[in-house]
Amino acid sequence: MNNNILQVKDLHRTYNSGADDELKVLQGIDLEIRSNETLGIVGVSGSGKSTLLHILASLDHPTSGNVIYKGIDLYGYKDKELSNIRNREFGFVFQFHYLLKELTAFENVLLPSMIGGSEDRERVKYLLEEVGMLPRKDHYPNELSGGELQRIAIARALVNSPTILFADEPTGELDNENGEKIFSLMVDIVDKFGATLVLVTHNSGFASRTEKKYSLNFGKLEQI
Say if CB 185 and CB 154 are below 8 A apart: yes
Distance CA 67, CA 83 (A): 16
Helix (H, G, I), strand (E, B) or coil at 40: strand
Mean pLDDT of 10-35: 88
Domain ranges of the chain: 36-60+86-223
pLDDT in tens, 127-170: 999 999 999 999 999 999 999 999 999 999 999 999 999 999 99
Query: Could you give phi then psi for residue 84, rounded to 5 degrees?
Result: -65, -40
In what helix (H) or strand (E) does residue 155 lie, and over which residues does it extend?
helix 146-158
Q: Does domain 36-60+86-223 have CATH number 3.40.50.150?
A: no
Q: For the whole model, what pTM was predicted?
A: 0.91
Distance CA 59, CA 75 (A): 11
| Contacts with 154 (C-beta within 8 Å, 6 or more apart), sequence order | 93, 131, 170, 182, 185, 186, 189
How many CB atoms neighbour CB 139 within 10 A?
15
pLDDT in tens, 180-204: 999 999 999 999 999 999 999 988 8
Question: What integer pLDDT is reported at residue 19 of this predicted model?
Answer: 61
- Within the chain, strands assigned E span 4-18, 21-34, 38-42, 64-69, 72-73, 90-94, 164-168, 196-200, 212-217, 220-223
| Contacts with 108 (C-beta within 8 Å, 6 or more apart), sequence order | 99, 100, 141, 152, 156
Buried b / exposed e over 180-202, threshold 16 CB at 10 Å, is ebbbebbbebbeeeebbbbbbbe
Question: Rounded to an integer, what is the distance from CA 129 to the centroid of its chain?
Answer: 21
